[in-house]
Amino acid sequence: MTAIERALYELNEIDGYACGSSLMHRLDPRAKTIVTLLYIATVLSFRLDSLTGIMSLWIFPILLSALGGISYNRVFVKSLYVLPFIALIGIFNPIFDRRPALTAGHVVITVGWLQFISICLRGMLAVQASLILVMTTGFMKICHGLRRMGLPAVFTTQLLMVHRYLSVLLKEAASMDCARRSRGYGRRHYTPRLWGIFIGQLLVRTVARAGRIHMAMLSRGFDGNAAIRSTMRWSAADTIFLTACAAAFAIARLADLSRLFNILTLR
């Protein structure tokens, strides 16, 4: 699978999940966006050496994805993609900080490694939260929500347009790439010159397409303001969801949930 094909697959996958009809799907996008941000802020507000604190927040993505009827396994696997870059930065902590933190028999885990695990974990949890947001809401509705939350209309329209033409252009690039490979006689890579011509062609086609879209807009009375109506209504369920989540995050942040888990499981 080429990078383009994978991107197309993921785009479709997200859309597929987003047209579900679970409890989570029916909530207002604004409520879900705020909750997601609150969750990530809570995760990030833990100190790096407070591994148990961060771990205790792990239950929320699992619960929320179950509530949204989406597979947590898939969310988890997708969140692994984020690891390489984080690990690249995080790996320096074990190198620089070698004070012992935990011992298990002869194995000593240093503060640095503890922090490394925390960094990876918070990266994954943050990504999982935003994945659940988009998988239970859909990119489109998030954009409508952002518009209602006061982001400039030019920008939200722009987001919707990019999303709309993403698959169109990815397919166009994929078919051009396929045509090149079929005549590439085993050459797998683009030289910068060939790449310039290829991308230049794609750009020319893109601009031509923009011209046609503009004409289609004009012929339907477009005057510069893309008209989008959204029938978004904040209901009591949204308030309850937001309050409940905020309270749950606050409790998880203030009380040491790991102790509770201990009592539940170990004793």
Partner 1 sequence: MSHHYVKFDHVSYTYPNGYRALDDVSLLITHGQKVAVIGANGAGKSTLMLHMNGLLTATEGQVVIGDIPVTPKTLPRIRQTVGLVFQNPDDQLFMPTVADDVAFGPINMRLPDSEVDRRVDMALKAVGAYDLKDRPGYQLSGGQKRSVAIATVLSMEPDILVMDEPSSNLDPRARRMLMRQIEAFDHTCIITTHDLDLALNLCPRTIVMSGGHIAADGPTPDLLADRSLLERASLL
Partner 2 sequence: MHMADALVSPAVAGAAGAAAIALLATAAKKVKTGTSDSIVPLMGVMGAFIFAAQMINFSIPGTGSSGHIVGGILLGAVLGPWAAFLTLTSVLVVQCLIFADGGLMALGCNVINMAAMSTLVAYPLVYRPIAGRHAPVKPWRISAAAVAASIVGLELGALLVTAETEMSGVTALPWNEFLTLMCSIHLFIGIGEGIATAAVLYFIRSYKPDMLAACREASAEQTHARSYSKAAWIFIGAALLLGGLFTWIASSDPDGLEWSIQSITGSADLAPAASGTVASVLESVQTSTSLLPDYGSTWSGVIGCAIVITLVWIMAALITRKKPAVKKL
At closest approach, how far in Å is the CB of 127 from partner 2?
5
If one asks whether residue 107 binds partner 1 (CB under 8 A), the answer comes out as: no
Q: Binding of partner 2 at residue 107 (CB under 8 A)?
A: no
Q: Are 244 and 34 in contact (CB under 8 A)?
A: no
Sole residue written with tokens 């935003």: 130
Instruction: Give the binding range for partner 1 (CB under 8 A) out of 21-29, 100-108, 118-126, 211-219.
Output: 211-219
Taking CB under 8 A as the binding criterion, the range among 163-171, 227-235, 236-244 that sits at the site for partner 2 is 163-171
| CB closer to partner 2 out of 20 and 230 | 20
Choices 25-33, 190-198, 226-234, 257-265; region in contact with partner 1 by CB under 8 A: 226-234
> How do 107-110 and 100-104 pair as beta strands?
antiparallel
- Binding-site string for partner 2 from residue 196 to residue 235, where x marks contact by CB under 8 A and - marks none: xxxxxxxxx-xx-xx--xx--xx---xxxxx---------
Structural contact between residues 135 and 77, judged by C-beta atoms closer than 8 angstroms: no
Mapped onto helix, strand or coil, the DSSP state of residue 108 is strand
- What b/e string do you get for 112-136 counting C-beta neighbours within 10 Å, with b at 16 or more? bbbbbbbbbbbbbbbbbbbbbbbbb
Q: Toward partner 1, which CB reaches closer, 108 or 162?
A: 162
The one-letter code for the residue type at 195 is W
- Tell me the residue type at 234: W
Identify which of residues 34 and 143 has a Cβ nearer to partner 1 in the complex: 143
If one asks whether residue 241 binds partner 2 (CB under 8 A), the answer comes out as no
Examine residue 246 and tell whether it contacts partner 2 (CB under 8 A). no
**Region 3-62 residues binding partner 1, contact defined as CB under 8 A:** 15
CB of 27 to partner 1, least distance (A): 17
Closest CA to 28 of 236, 240, 239, 238: 238
> In which residue are the tokens 């993403």 written?
166
Cα 13 to Cα 5: distance, rounded to the nearest angstrom = 12
Q: For binding to partner 1 (CB under 8 A), which residues are involved?
A: 15, 140, 143, 160-161, 163-165, 167-168, 209, 212-213, 215-223, 226-229
